Structures are given as C-alpha cells and as structure tokens.
Amino acid sequence: MLQHFEKYIKLSAPLKDELTKRVTLKTFKKGHLVHNADKVCTKSYFIQKGLMRLYSIKDGKEITAFFCAENEWVNSPNSFIQQQLDIYYIDTIEATECYCLNVGDLVYLFEHFPEMEQYARLSMGTNLAYYLERISSMHFTRATEKYQHFCKTYQDVHHRIPLGMVSSYLGITQETLSRIRAEK
Amino acid sequence: MLQHFEKYIKLSAPLKDELTKRVTLKTFKKGHLVHNADKVCTKSYFIQKGLMRLYSIKDGKEITAFFCAENEWVNSPNSFIQQQLDIYYIDTIEATECYCLNVGDLVYLFEHFPEMEQYARLSMGTNLAYYLERISSMHFTRATEKYQHFCKTYQDVHHRIPLGMVSSYLGITQETLSRIRAEK
DNA sequence: ATGATTTTTTGATCTAGGTCAAAAATCATT
DNA sequence: AATGATTTTTGACCTAGATCAAAAAATCAT
C-alpha cells in the first residue's frame, strides 16, 4: 500500500507511521457484502489480494459499475467523499485481503499532512482517467467490441469474474455474452 | 470563477490576486475548435457564458463524451492532467466566453498555495460524481430512458444542443432520437 | 462422494432500434 | 429576400441482440 502512495508522493517517515498505524488488515471471504447501499460509506479498502466489485441494483438486477483488483482503493466514491447515501454496493468476487482506512482517519491525515492532499489530487487524476476510458468504451455498439475491450482493460483478472457479472458490466445479457465467448 | 473556488475553499487575498492575474478572458464563436486531439491540452477553460462539448472521433463519426455549461471547467482531462496526447476534441456549441488558465500557471498555483491542492481534490470529487452518474446512466437499455435522463442532467441547456450531438452522446441514432422526441 | 444449487450453454422466437433513402424544415450567407 | 447548406423528420425494411425456456455443466454444502 505504501508503494502505491510512493507512486504519487514522497512518503515522509511520520506520514508513513501514521498511515500504518491507522490502517487495519481485513479478510473477507468470497461473496461478502463489504458495503451496503443503505449506509453511508465510511471506509476505504486497499486491495492486497483478491477481487471486488462496485455495483448497484436496478429492477432487482445487479448492475456492475466496475471491478477492483489488487493495488487499488475501493469505496462507494460519492458516499465516501461526500459522506452521504449513494446507490452502490461493494462485494467480493473472491476471498479478499485488504487494508481498511476510515474517513475520520483520512480527514486527520489531510489535516496534518499537506502532501496527502497532493496524493489525493494525483491519484484521483488516474481514477478520472479510468472513468473517462470507461465512458468512452460504453459507446461501443457491438457486443463483441464491448467484450473485447473488457478483456483488454481487465487483462489479468477477466477470467476470474463470473459471466453474469461481466454481462451486467457490459450491459448485455448473459446469453449473448455466452454466445460471444463460444465463437472463436 | 472566484465564486466557484469559494464553493470549495476560502480564497486568501494573495491567491485571489494570482488567480485573476494568471487567467485571461477569451471569446469563441459558435463551432470553434477550442482543443484539437493532435495536441497536448495545456489550457483549461472556465465557462462564463456559453456551451462546449468534449468529443472524440470514431470511424469518422463524432462521439460526444459530455457537454459543459456555465460555471464549469473544461479541458481534455487526461491530456491536461498527465500532459500527454488523448483522443478528445473540444468545441463550442454556441458563442462562448470563458476564462483561460495555462497548466504552467496552475502548477505555479499548486506549488505556492497549498489550498489549491485542496480545491483540486474537492472539485475533482464532484467531477468524479458526475462521471459515475454518467456511467450508471449508460446502463439504461431503452433509448427513451437514456433521453429522459439526459434531459434531467442537462435540464437548463438540453434544448440548446443540436439533435446530432445529443444522439452521439446517448449512443443512439439521430433518427431514433427524432422519433422519440416526436412522440408525446 | 453425492445430491442440490448455481452458473453457463444452446435453441427458437421476437422486437427495439439500426440502416438506407428521401422529403421537410431550419439556418447561414450574400 | 433568395440560395444553398445543414439539420431534422418521416418511411420502409432489416438485423443484432433481447426474451423465454430448458438442458448441460460446474460449484457448493453436507
């Protein structure tokens, strides 16, 4: 996790200390509901090992917004940042081990370590890039293109994700996705 | 523009000064290509009056990523943040008046005013929220739903945008959009 | 291991929205 | 105001992918 920070800022010893002190290691088993949309999201998770997903529910159906893999932060973005309710749930696709950080602790870090603000700005920049890429990829019209793009963006993890979740991520039906996989 | 900053941070007099000093007022007429994808984006525009759009070109067709209206910053996000090439173009939908800020000046501000980092973090938070909302809205399957959602999110400006741009934003054809508008 | 549950595949049919084409309306320029 | 260019609308037809249904395969719990 500290390595991830160091991609963006230089970590001073005291900041490193505070970070390690304020973070707790958690383990979830497969299929665990890590965040429920009926609560405000107060925790952010840095995935050490495993796989999670952010999804919402529409007409009783799960719609996957995106998947989160190793070395990424996961939370319900609006809920966590604005400390208000939002539509997203988070669960694990596999047994997952991650570091957990509370909003409160994060706020403390922002207040005492100005370089944390910079880290936030820079890392949000890469996130923004992902989101934009996602938006642009959703303009693909053919289901095959969508699927190919998915395989490219989730290169190392796409085979670990069940078909139903992928199809809800792509906005196509399971049947169609299954047929796409069948050919070639 | 200063008001916009004050939604997120308290503006000190010297920062206010530097900001107004480093920003220049520009006027573009309708249809002006403000940013070309063949260049790295070095400027960010705060729209005072008017309407712009961010779009890319695929198979010779323009695909609108989103529209930008009064009191918003526009730039080619990745290109501007990472100072590298990206696929997006920016043009004006109407005659537009805006404040222009260079990356260089922005960097200067980040270096000399720590509260600017905070502004960036917080305002990127709201942007992230918009993006996420967009991603979620792109999961609508029926064209009618998509259009209704568009009208809601661009409540005050949606009637100022030509049909072709709206359809490319929604990922449906002009013909379909025209028919949707015709009924009721 | 074994039966139960869940996930994936396969098949048959249907439909929303795409494509192509041309007319009508709106806009811009002299 | 007139002309040409661009945008929007309307019509006829077609296709990719949705829906419904049921079999096959994989995964899970005891």
Band of the pLDDT at B180, cuts 50, 70, 90?
very high
- Copy the structure tokens of residue B142: 């029926």
Cβ-defined contact of A138 to B135 (cutoff 8 Å): yes
Burial (0-12, 13-18, 19+ Cβ within 10 Å), A97: middle
Q: Any chain A CB within 8 A of the CB of B118?
A: yes
Bases of chain C with protein Cβ within 7 A: 7-12, 16-21, 28
DSSP run (H or E) holding A42: none
Which ranges in A52-158 belong to alpha helices (H)?
77-82, 103-112, 114-137, 143-153
Are B21 and B56 contained in the same domain? yes
Burial (0-12, 13-18, 19+ Cβ within 10 Å), B147: buried
- pLDDT (0 to 100) of residue A184: 62
Arithmetic mean of pLDDT, A43-54: 97
Residues of B in contact with A128 (CB under 8 A): 77-78, 81, 124, 127-128, 131
Report how many domains make up chain B.
Answer: 2
Are B118 and B145 contained in the same domain? no
Band of the pLDDT at B184, cuts 50, 70, 90?
low
Are B163 and B121 contained in the same domain? no
Name the residue among B58, B80, B170 with its Cα closest to residue B124: B80
| Domain extent for B16 | 2-137
Nucleotide nearest to A173 (CA to C1'): D18
Residues of B in contact with A87 (CB under 8 A): 136
Nearest to B65 among A56, A87, A135 (CB): A135
The Cα of A134 is separated from the nearest Cα of chain B by a number of Å equal to 7
Residue A58 Cα distances to A168, B4, B129, angstroms? 11, 34, 19
Residue A44 has pLDDT above 90, yes or no: yes
DSSP-assigned beta bridge partners for residue A168: none
Arithmetic mean of pLDDT, B138-142: 96
Cβ-defined contact of B65 to A120 (cutoff 8 Å): no
* Residue A100 maps to a domain: yes
What percentage of chain A has pLDDT greater than the value 90? 98
**Residue in B with minimal Cα distance to A136:** B65
Placement of tokens 């590298």 in the chain: B84
* Neighbour count for residue A121 (Cβ, 10 Å): 22
- pLDDT (0 to 100) of residue A32: 94
Residue B118 neighbours by CB under 8 Å, 6+ apart: A110, A117, B8, B9
Are B150 and B118 contained in the same domain? no
- pLDDT (0 to 100) of residue B112: 96
Phi-psi region of A27 (alpha: psi -120 to 50; beta: other; left: phi over 0): beta
* Residue A47 maps to a domain: yes
Mean pLDDT of all residues in chain B? 96
Confirm whether any atom of chain C, the nucleic acid strand, is less than 7 Å from CB of A139: no
SS3 state at A54: strand
pLDDT tens column, B76-130: 999 999 999 999 999 999 999 999 999 999 999 999 999 999 999 999 999 999 9
* Residue A6 maps to a domain: yes
Are B54 and B145 contained in the same domain? no
Q: Any chain B CB within 8 A of the CB of A59?
A: no
CA A37, CA B131: separation in Å to the nearest integer? 19
SS3 state at B125: helix
The Cα of B152 is separated from the nearest Cα of chain A by a number of Å equal to 18
* Residue A157 maps to a domain: no
* Residue A133 maps to a domain: no
Q: Any chain B CB within 8 A of the CB of A176?
A: no
Question: Taking the mean position of all CA atoms in its chain, how far away is CA B31?
Answer: 15
Q: Any chain A CB within 8 A of the CB of B77?
A: yes
Band of the pLDDT at A33, cuts 50, 70, 90?
very high
- pLDDT (0 to 100) of residue A183: 86
Nearest to A124 among B87, B121, B134 (CB): B121
Residue A32 neighbours by CB under 8 Å, 6+ apart: A91, A92, A96
Are B38 and B101 contained in the same domain? yes
Domain of B49, CATH number, reads 2.60.120.10
Mean pLDDT of all residues in chain A? 96
Band of the pLDDT at B183, cuts 50, 70, 90?
confident
